[in-house]
Amino acid sequence: MGRVVTIANQKGGVGKTTTAVSLAAGCALGGQKTLLVDLDPQCNATSALGRSPVERHPLVDARPIREAVAKTDIENLELLPGSQSFRDVDALATAADNESRRVAAHLAASLSVYDMVFVDCPPSLGGLTRTALATSDEVIMPIQCEYFAMEGLTQMIEVIRQVMHTDNARLQFGGILLTMYEPSLELTREIDREVREFFGDVVFSTVVPRDVTLAEAPSHGQPILTYAPRSQGSRAYIELCQEVLDRV
């Protein structure tokens, strides 16, 4: 089975979905057979690739997951679309431990045909995120360069440790990504310095700048790499993709 990477942070608005979509697109454009799994009830990863949410989430549907996978406009990139069904979201988010493991196993059983799998999680520490972590080889945490960034990191890392010890011993901390980076701001530079001093090489060298094209791309149903390939945001995610692929 290829690498399964979960993109997670309990805070919203940190560039989590943009990172999941951009990394998936970058790997696919680089020739890797790639799957993007949308576990967020907001289904933003699904719409960002120009697709619509499904009525029933494939992870609670009895059908094989391969039957629910959708093609995208990018060669080598497929999508397991999300669902906005309150019933399905509640079933996944509140599942007991044994049910969560069953869902994780159901997902893992369909991933062997891919080189890379990226999972976009909701901004939560709940059942959906834990299910994704239980399936994954590593987790990437995007954090916005703001005052509460370190506080959110601490909470998320504790959840990752719990999953490592109870559900998935192979799970690793893939990296911390600084997003919405404005080098002209003293706060940005301070957060950058503190995070790198504390976490060291776990922090990606690449930072993702504030770039309006990153916000525009989803409305056109495209990842930044095809919507504005020469933009600052696109260049940053290409560099990040290379970093991720190099961290084997």
Q: Which two tokens stand for residue 186?
A: 């003293």
How far apart CA 132 and CA 222 sit, in angstroms, is 24
Average pLDDT of span 63-84: 90
Q: pTM for the whole thing?
A: 0.93
The DSSP secondary-structure symbol of 200 reads G
Query: Which of the four pLDDT bands, split at 50, 70 and 90, describes residue 93?
Result: low
How far apart CA 29 and CA 111 sit, in angstroms, is 19
DSSP 111-123: -TT-SEEEEEPPS
What's the pLDDT tens digit per position in 174-218? 999 999 999 999 999 999 999 999 899 999 999 999 999 999 999
How far apart CA 109 and CA 104 sit, in angstroms, is 9
Average pLDDT of span 70-82: 95
Query: Which of the four pLDDT bands, split at 50, 70 and 90, describes residue 95?
Result: low
SS3 190: helix
Of the ranges 88-97, 125-134, 153-162, which one carries the lowest mean pLDDT score? Answer: 88-97
How far apart CA 190 and CA 59 sit, in angstroms, is 41
Which of 8-12, 116-120, 155-159 tops mean pLDDT?
Answer: 116-120
Question: Which of residues 64 and 17 earns the better pLDDT score?
Answer: 17
Q: Which two tokens stand for residue 219?
A: 């409305």
